Amino acid sequence: MSSRRSLRRGEATSRYLLVGAAIVVVIILLALGYYFYSQGAAETTTGPLTGEAGEGAETTPETTTSPAATETPGEVTLIWASTQLVPPTEQQFVKEELLPPFTQETGIKVEFIGMSYGDLNVRLQSEMESGKVTISLIADLHGGLDLYASKGWLEDLSKFGALEGREFPQVLEDYSRLYGIKAYVPWLTATYVFVVNKEAFKYLPPGLSEEDVITGSEKWTYDALLEWAKNIEAATGQKPLGFPAGPKGLFHRFLHGYLYPSFTGAQVKNFDSPEAVQMWSYLKELWNYVHPQSTVYEAMAAPLLNGEVLIAWDHTARIKDAIVQKPDEFVVVPAPAGPKGRGYILVIVGLAIPKNAPHQDAAWKLIEYLTRPEVQSLILEKVGFFPAVSGVSEKLPEGPLKVLAQGVGNQLNTPDSLVALIPSLGEKGGDFRNTYREAFKAIVLEGKDPQQVLPELKQYLLSLFQATGASLPPPDE
């Protein structure tokens, strides 16, 4: 009996051992399965995500911050940000006529982005601070480029060497060198001129000849303009003068870049001087002979063509259609002179490459293309900006563009020239312009005393320069 009980106890123990071993094996298999499952899941989950994020994070800065040393031209699309040629018709010219030959020649595609001065300043500052520069080329006025160069945001273009086969006037070369670097390449120039219907020459005041007006002699002064306007109104009953003083017109340029330098010798620093008070008194009297629609005019070509005015002032690009349509009827003349000289604005448009911009070699190729003499002539023909390259205007064929170019040349060559540059105030530029318009509205349209109006506005004007750190513009310096 005892041996059978011992045998049964041994069989039970063996079964327990087998069951225990089986349980252990199952646990081990489950553990191994979970291990291999979790390793596989981990590779599947983290592999592709890490790869995509890593490549994007590392490749993008390389392609956006390094010169295009390894660029294949056919793969490049560079961003060209411009504050010029922004109106829809001018952008259409850029995209449909100006850039396609460049892309066809080089294989480099260009994305042209027209923007305001303030928008360009904000975007460039954001890209500089983030270190992710996307703009490869900038076109802006001298004032804006001066501001960007002062902040160290522009490449020194001297590293690319000289542009062969073209020369730039020395005055433009001098302006393009800022803060110890070659900050930009002069691209285009423009100015603002008076255009006269030749019928008006019948009413010139005594002592003033047609030749005096056309060449800008010392007899062609603002006092002479006033006497001329009086004669025309007396003879015809017509208020003969016209200015683009509408909301989108450029009349503020006439105030700060023409009248102020001519009467006070400066744009800003003599804003409330006795000479400025004299200037505003003169303008109040002159306004008696200005066409009443001037406060809504935004460009002067149409009023000249339909005969509403006989003498008008405006930007060359906005007035050129009058010359193009009736070149035998109109003549372009220099601005009159004031007590301090013949003040006028010279607009300089430059091409610059932002610091650490992508596609720098491609951007330099675009600069080379845009400054070719034949391309400069095309731009003058299509949008009225004048060449920055020497000798192009002299080679123009007889016709309206030649008439326009000769008038601009006569203004540039007057011995009493007092060149004014548009200041570099970035996003504060609109406040600068509005200050002159506010003074005009208060003094000329509302009849307020300039000695009461000007001192407070001058303090605000100076605060704009203090806030931005910008220098007072020539001829104030």
**Is 191-346+416-468 a CATH 3.40.190.10 domain?**
yes
The owner of tokens 């006439």 is 254
CB 184 within 8 A of CB 176: yes
pLDDT at position 440: 98
Q: pLDDT tens, 409-441?
A: 788 778 898 989 888 787 788 999 999 999 999
How much is the average pLDDT of 158-181? 89
User: Residue 87: is the preceding peptide bond cis (ω within 30°)?
Assistant: no
pLDDT tops 60 at residue 29: no
CB 153 within 8 A of CB 140: no
43 confidence band (pLDDT: 50, 70, 90): very low
pLDDT tops 80 at residue 112: yes
In the predicted model, what is the mean pLDDT of the chain? 85
pLDDT at position 30: 46
pLDDT tops 90 at residue 368: yes
Alpha carbons 379 and 388: distance in angstroms, whole number? 11
pLDDT tops 50 at residue 35: no
Closest Cα to residue 385, out of 82, 117, 166?
82
Considering only residues 261 and 406, tell me which one the structure prediction assigns the higher pLDDT: 261
Alpha carbons 266 and 423: distance in angstroms, whole number? 12
Q: Which residues contact 468 (CB under 8 A, 6 or more apart)?
A: 147, 424, 425, 426, 428
pLDDT at position 68: 39
Q: Which of 64-73, 275-284, 446-455 has the lowest mean pLDDT?
A: 64-73
49 confidence band (pLDDT: 50, 70, 90): very low
| CATH number given to 77-190+348-395 | 3.40.190.10
Residue type, 476: D
Considering only residues 117 and 445, tell me which one the structure prediction assigns the higher pLDDT: 445
pLDDT tops 60 at residue 40: no
How large a percentage of the chain has pLDDT more than 70? 84
Reported as type and span, the H/E element at residue 210 is helix 210-215
pLDDT at position 309: 98
Reported as type and span, the H/E element at residue 7 is helix 2-65
pLDDT at position 16: 52
139: left (phi over 0), alpha (psi -120 to 50) or beta: beta
CB 143 within 8 A of CB 473: yes
> How buried is 91 (Cβ within 10 angstroms: 0-12 exposed, 13-18 middle, 19+ buried)?
middle
pLDDT at position 243: 98
pLDDT at position 260: 98
CB 183 within 8 A of CB 150: no
Domain with CATH 3.40.190.10 in the chain: 77-190+348-395, 191-346+416-468
How much is the average pLDDT of 189-213? 96
> b/e string for 313-322 if b means 16 or more Cβ within 10 A?
bbbbbbbbbb
pLDDT at position 289: 98
Q: pLDDT tens, 60-87?
A: 333 333 333 345 545 789 999 999 999 8
Any bridge partners for residue 78, and if so which? 110
pLDDT tops 70 at residue 45: no
Reported as type and span, the H/E element at residue 81 is strand 77-82
How large a percentage of the chain has pLDDT more than 90? 63
Q: pLDDT tens, 300-315?
A: 999 999 999 999 999 9
Closest Cα to residue 304, out of 292, 313, 315?
313
How much is the average pLDDT of 31-39? 39
How much is the average pLDDT of 336-341? 98
CB count within 10 Å of CB 17 equals 10
